Amino acid sequence: MTSMVNNTDKKGFSLVEIMIVIAIMAILAGIAAPFMQPYMAQRRLSGAARQVHTDLLAMRMQAAGENKWIALNVDDAQQYTIFRDHAKTGVKSSPGNEILAVKDLHPTYHDVTFTSAANTVVPFAPNGTACFSDGSCVLATLGFSSPGGTKSITVTPAGAAKIN
């Protein structure tokens, strides 16, 4: 008695079927890619604004927690410095001021830039307000720009920060 091999029990895909599916996926990806670029630029812009917003909220909490003045200074189109403002003037290079962090938007958000002028300062007093020691408070706006549009963060004199 000889046993016969039954070909109807084979399961799976042939190489031709897999190549056809890969070709269709490549065509669809090629069509979708140009539409994804503006979306990704907008996502990078939102990400940069969220990063700075988070830093501002953390600075406010740190100022209140340490009972010290903490400030943010926009250095140039992509970089900002967070520093402990012992001089209470908002000038990062004052004697005794301690730089806590220098952050750059470009490694992660390569096409996002600040539209705010260099040396724009956002201070936080120990009570959480956006004020200097002389009592002058600021309504600060930090602007961002990218091919995905523009965004801004507004810091009120009371110290609240909001992404617009």
Give the tens place of pLDDT for each residue, 57-111: 999 999 999 999 999 999 999 999 999 998 888 888 888 889 999 999 999 999 9
Q: Which domain holds residue 153?
A: 15-163
What does the pLDDT read at residue 6?
60
Chain segment 110-158, per-residue pLDDT in tens = 999 999 998 899 999 999 999 888 888 889 999 999 998 999 999 999 9
CATH number at residue 146: 3.55.40.10
Burial class (CB in 10 A: 0-12, 13-18, 19+), 51: middle
What does the pLDDT read at residue 18?
95
Mean pLDDT over 1-22 rounds to 78
Q: Are 122 and 64 in contact (CB under 8 A)?
A: no
Q: How many domains is the chain partitioned into structurally?
A: 1
